[in-house]
Amino acid sequence: MEHVTVIPIMLILSFLQCKTVVSTSLSNGQRDLVDGTGLHNVLWIIKNESSVTLFWNNNLTKEETDKYTVKYILSYKFFNTTHERKERLQEKQKRIHLDLHPGFNAKVKTQLFAKESEDVIKEGHWTELSYKAPPVYIQNLSCIIYNISSFNCTWHIKAEAPEDIQVFFTCRHVRKDFECQQYIQNARKKNVGCHMKEIYFQAARKIYLNITVRDLRNNSGGLSYYKAFLPQTIEKLNPPINVSVSLENRSIKIHWKPPPTIGSARRKCFLYQVKITDRKIVNVTAETYEYPFHKPAKKCSAQVKVKKEVCVRNKIWSEWSEPVFIHNEKTLDVMLLSLMVFGVLIFFGGLICACRRYSCLEVITMPVPRPSDNIQTWLAADDIHHQKEMSMQMQMHLEITLGITLGITKDDGDENVQQQRCLKESGLEDL
């Protein structure tokens, strides 16, 4: 593991003679420097398994080293990124984690400080170095820890990757190595993710990923990529628990408790968002939220989600908790009562109507000697009614036919009026 390869250095000395202006944050506000053309650095790189270490030296004399405080400004930028990392160091080396970057450009310069005043006395020129890593065939690596002990990572295989590769995933946490438990594959049967569960995570210890791309046609070791996370930074919490709602003198009060988490569960670590139907989502740091309301009859639901914000940088929100419905009990009581009254009224109203139609009042009030008599009475009543209807319909029909024939024999122009009058007269009112 400790095999170390010295990569031939790519040394690009900058021969700019003009004074380089350092950003104020790094130059102590001192700009009136002695031109340090004599301060030269030599850079080289040592690559180990999971990172590269950038080294440099200076060509200062013993006198200079004794007289001044020596510091270095290192600046580096991964290929195809815009973010430039800049730092001032006293040591002559820096370990750089490539993760999935294909390489970087780095530059270093020496600064001499007066021991007493900490003013910059002399400053050298940049010395640059460019490091190109072996090809990187995967991208968009993303990992998530959820439900305390489950762990998912996913990645994409770049289009330029050779056809016959396969991707293998291992990780290391608290001195234990884990093989991938369950690979997630794409349509071409390539591994593009890994699902692990029942891993006991320790908040303060990093998870080290080792993703190795092997060419299946040959037995070469393959290319390994490394990345490390602190568990808490990739943790997706479960939704808040025990969410409840209460109504207190014209305000809605929502309570909840934080879900279990890896590492610190101090109150101030959690940031919550509360969503109440139709209202804007609000950020809350307490475990309760209260808001006054003016339309108590409206039914609405409340949901809460959570992430860690203060103690640790984490961008992943939990899912929303199951909705909890808010209803005003007093309104509900009044509504229930009116509903009941309404129902009773409808029932009796319906009963009376039905009774009128089927003359059941008579039936009910009639003495009931035997069940068969009862049925007969019903049938008889119905029969009489039916007969009445029939005779009425026949009468109507006759009158209408008569009216029409009369109309035709009379004046043609009056026909319609006549017909209408007939229809009216034929006792439509009766129906």
In the complex, the residues that contact ligand NAG under the rule CB under 6 A are: 38, 40, 49-50, 59-61, 79-80, 139-140, 144, 146-147, 149, 152, 168, 170, 184, 195, 210, 212, 215, 217-218, 220-221, 224, 241-242, 248-249, 257, 283, 309
Are 262 and 203 a contacting pair, CB within 8 Å? Answer: yes
CB of 299 to ligand NAG, least distance (A): 22
Least distance to ligand NAG, CB of residue 123, Å: 14
333 SS3 class: helix
In the complex, minimum distance from the CB of residue 130 to ligand NAG, in angstroms, rounded to a whole number: 9
Closest of 242, 400, 402, 417 to residue 321, by C-alpha: 242
Asked if 309 contacts 266 with a C-beta cutoff of 8 angstroms, the reply is: no
Report the residue number, 60 or 269, with the smaller CB distance to ligand NAG. 60
CB of 186 to ligand NAG, least distance (A): 12
**Closest distance of CB 4 from ligand NAG, Å:** 13
- For residues 127 and 42, the answer to whether their CB atoms sit within 8 Å is yes
In three state form, how does the secondary structure of 263-295 look? CCCCHHHEEEEEEECCCCCEEECCCEEEEECCC
CB closer to ligand NAG, 99 vs 399:
99
**Nearest-angstrom CA–CA distance, 102 and 220:** 20
Q: What's the min distance (Å) between Cβ of 90 and ligand NAG?
A: 19
Q: CB nearer to ligand NAG: give 137 or 407.
A: 137
Whole-angstrom distance, CA of residue 428 vs CA of residue 431:
5
Give the nearest distance from C-beta 146 to ligand NAG in angstroms: 5
CB-wise, 147 or 395, nearer to ligand NAG? 147
**CA pseudo-torsion sign 403, 404, 408, 414:** positive
Nearer to ligand NAG, 105 or 418 (CB): 105
Among 214, 39, 67, residue whose Cα is nearest residue 138: 214
Rounded to whole angstroms, the Cα distance separating 5 from 8 reads 9
Give the Cα-Cα-Cα angle 408, 414, 417 (nearest 5 degrees). 105
Q: In this complex, which beta carbon is closest to ligand NAG, that of residue 228 or of residue 360?
A: 228
Which CB atom, from 79 or from 293, has the smaller least distance to ligand NAG?
79
